Amino acid sequence: MRKHGFVDLGFSCEPVPAGSHVCLFYWDDTRKNRMLFNYLVAGIRNGEKVICLLDSLTKDELLAWIQREQVDTGGNDPDRCLFVARPQEVYYPNGVFVPEQMVAKWQRLIEEARAEGFNMARVTGETNWLAKDIPGAELFIEYEVMINEWLRNYPVTVLCQINTNHIPGPTLMDLIRVHPFTVADGQLIYNPGTPPSGVERLPR
């Protein structure tokens, strides 16, 4: 996979460079799911592989939502583009979160997408499991830094979903620090203090 310019997040008027690492802070599930839906549809419309680790929605529910709203998919097949799994199945299938193993899993998923013929991909994951005392969860910030490094070579747009009702203040500050982009109250914010993941600057 190669870098391919800028991509539409679906919920922001500003595009971001392919390979961006974005953190979505939310406290309202209904509003978050609408933003998530728009993010996924934008990826499908752009012909990307869309990989989701979700507890809140299943693949069947997302496909039904797309059909119900009759959204423009750019002629792409949502069923082919979408991959949905539960967070536990990927983040900590054996009950322990291991950052290196998780990055390797993303690598495999992206290689599988490339084998399917996709040149770009976007991924997203819900992180409510961070509040469940899962062994290894304390390494999540370290994992996010590893994702920044990994994205230097891949046009994968990453959207981390963080429910601020479940995450303590100091951890929220760490999450802001390690993400080049954050979304709060629907606003996309560029963090110049975070080393970018090998991407171009935002267009003016």
**pLDDT score, position 101:** 98
In terms of phi and psi (left: phi > 0; alpha: psi -120 to 50; beta: otherwise), the region of 187 is beta
**pLDDT score, position 198:** 38
Residue type, 162: I
Alpha-carbon span 89 to 91, nearest angstrom? 6
* pLDDT tens digits along 40-63: 999 999 999 999 999 999 999 999
Reading the chain (204 residues) residue by residue, the pLDDT tens digits are 555 589 999 999 899 999 999 999 999 999 999 999 999 999 999 999 999 999 999 999 999 999 999 999 999 999 999 999 999 999 999 999 999 999 999 999 999 999 999 999 999 999 999 999 999 999 999 999 999 999 988 889 999 999 999 899 999 999 999 999 999 988 999 988 775 553 443 333
Class of domain 6-190: alpha beta
**pLDDT score, position 4:** 59
DSSP string, the chain: ----SEE--SS-SS-EETT-EEEEEES-HHHHHHHHHHHHHHHHHTT-EEEEE-SS--HHHHHHHHHHHT---TT--HHHHEEEE-HHHHH-TTS---HHHHHHHHHHHHHHHHHTT-S-EEEEEE-GGGGGT-TTGGGHHHHHHHHHHHGGG--EEEEEEEETTTS-HHHHHHHHHH-SEEEETTEEEE-TTSPPSS-PPPP-
Scanning the structure block, which residue is given the tokens 């999450």? Answer: 175
Tokens matching residue 99 = 């950052």
Q: What is the DSSP pairing of strand 16-17 with strand 6-7?
A: antiparallel
**pLDDT score, position 203:** 39
Scanning the structure block, which residue is given the tokens 């629907």? Answer: 186
Domain segments of the chain as ranges: 6-190
